[in-house]
Amino acid sequence: MLKQINLSRLIAGAVLLISTAACAEDKIVVGDTSSQKQSVVISLDVYKRTSCSCCNKWISHLKDYGFEATKHNQNNLAEVKEKFGIHSKLQSCHTSVTKDGYVFEGHIPAKFIKKFLDEKPAGAKGLALPAMPTGTPGMEYGDLLQPYKIYLLKNDGSIEIYAEVNSAEEQI
């Protein structure tokens, strides 16, 4: 399974390199290697503490899936979370924002961010994965996975369950 995933990433990387060279003016990546669809590069500004190693691992996860991420080390993340309207019960160790203002709180797997941005649910401002569940991208600990829910953040302040993850395979 691991060799298959690494081979898929290697193939995706080769396709990305060829695509980028062929279309120097348009940044494109392979967003879904299973169907070979191409999409625009997703760029996120990631607000985190300087010393947070799990955030750095999550950023590496994003980059492995074709995202771009710019780190913004902060001393006071409370101000960032307040600015983007992340309720205290939904907070995690980092907050990420797209150029369009969509917000992603916590260790959300790349596939759910991409799905959200492809769908852009009406009235939604982003997703949140509260706390730091074991087994999420950046929070790996052997084969352990703490089942978790990803919440849809709505512009009116309400939330609803966007996804439930009960196995490592559901994250990929």
The residue ranges of every structural domain in the chain are 1-39, 42-171
pLDDT in tens, the chain (172 residues): 444 444 344 333 333 332 323 222 223 233 444 443 446 899 999 999 998 999 999 999 999 999 999 999 998 999 999 999 999 999 999 999 999 999 999 999 999 999 999 999 999 999 999 999 999 999 999 999 999 999 999 999 999 999 999 999 999 8
Q: Would you identify the CATH topology of the domain 42-171?
A: Glutaredoxin (3.40.30)
Q: Which of 94, 19, 87, 12 is nearest to 51 (CA)?
A: 94
* Per-residue pLDDT, 106: 98
Q: How many CB atoms lie within 10 A of CB 88?
A: 9
Q: Are 128 and 153 in contact (CB under 8 A)?
A: yes
Ramachandran class of 49: left when φ > 0, alpha when ψ lies in -120 to 50, beta otherwise: beta
Helix then strand then coil, in percent of the chain rounded to 5, is 35, 25, 40
Region of residue 171 (left: phi > 0; alpha: psi -120 to 50; beta: else)? alpha
> What is the Cα gyration radius of the chain?
16
